Structures are given as C-alpha cells and as structure tokens.
Amino acid sequence: MISEKIATILDEKFAFFNHPRFIEHDPIQIPHSLSRLQDKEIMGFWVAILAWGQRKTILQNAHTLINLMDGAPYDFILHHQEADLKRFESFKHRTFQYPDTLYFIDFFKRHYSHTNSLESAFTKGLSPEDLTIENGLNGFYHYFFNSEWSPERTKKHIASPLKNSACKRINMYVRVIKVFNI
C-alpha cells in the first residue's frame, strides 16, 4: 500500500536525521552548545527565525550573535547598556537587519525581566477551554509585538496563523525545545 511505503520512507528519514552526527552540521547545534536554559532558549529561537538560506551562513551568523553578546546571551540581554547595542549595527542575515536585532533584544529583555523561561511566551493565547497550537502561536505573536515601538518591518520575521502562515520556523523551534528539553 501507498501508506506503508510513505511510512517506510518517513521512518528512514527520521533515522537519518535524528542522529547526533546530523547536529554538527545543523543550526540545532547552537542551542546544544550552550549550557544555561535561557541561553538555549534565546539562541534556539533566534536561530529558528534566521533559518532560511545556507546552513553555513545561518551558523556563522548565530555564532556572530553569541559573540556580540559576549558569549552569554541571557546575561547580555538582562544587563546590557544602551551603548552596548551599537556593536550590532553591522549584524544582518538576509532581510534581518539592525532594527530587527534591536527589537529582538528588547523583547527578550522585557520577557526575561518577568519570567525565567521563554516557554511562557507561547502560552499567552491559551485558555483552559481552547488549548490549540494556533491560539498559542497567535498569542505569542501579539505578546512579541506588545510594545509601542515594535517596528513594522520586524513583523515579517515572526509568523502567525493570523497572517495565514504555517509558522514553519516557530513550530520548528517549539518542537525542538520540547524534544530536547531546552
């Protein structure tokens, strides 16, 4: 049957990609290389959002971000000074530019100033009566852009079912943090 053939193909692909050897060439190595939960969450999310283009470029830019944050994203997010942000002026990844970087840093600072995990950001749109992924992703989108200075240009980088998006990169991030408990 066709469904058995598809199941076999999917099982083979799962076995190939769900293996430690795959990590060394994949952006998932970034959160795996960090030890602190919040560093993993910050960089895992950022890498998922930047996950378009060549893997090599994604990895280079992720390492650049970590270096710009002095090797400790969470500490940088919470304790940076305004002058520290200037170092990000030259950071870009395709259409992700300096204003987007500044907004991400601002979001993370606002969020982590009130809670210890990014996981709670994905439960903002959920109610006990309706625990759908769609509501969680829509709630996250509204929460992420809940700032008076959220740049319009940055909204293209965060998907939402409200915008008829499949939210591929954000779903990838949510799946990865659950699978790897990061």
SS3 101: helix
Distance CA 129, CA 37 (A): 30
Let me know if residue 175 belongs to a domain: yes
Q: Facing residues of 127 across strands?
A: 130
Let me know if residue 21 belongs to a domain: no
Count the domains in the chain.
Answer: 1
Let me know if residue 174 belongs to a domain: yes
Instruction: Give pLDDT tens digits for 67-108.
Output: 999 999 999 999 999 999 999 999 999 999 999 999 999 999
Instruction: Give pLDDT tens digits for 1-54.
Output: 567 888 888 788 777 776 667 667 778 888 888 999 999 999 999 999 999 889
Distance CA 166, CA 56 (A): 25
Distance CA 11, CA 102 (A): 41
Distance CA 66, CA 72 (A): 7
Residue 177 scores a pLDDT above 70? no
Let me know if residue 117 belongs to a domain: yes
Q: In angstroms, what is the C-alpha Rg of the chain? A: 17
Residue 43: which domain range? Answer: 26-179
Let me know if residue 14 belongs to a domain: no
Residue 180 scores a pLDDT above 50? no
**φ/ψ bin of 109: left (φ > 0), alpha (ψ from -120 to 50), beta (otherwise):** alpha
Residue 170 scores a pLDDT above 70? yes
Structure tokens at 20: 């430690």
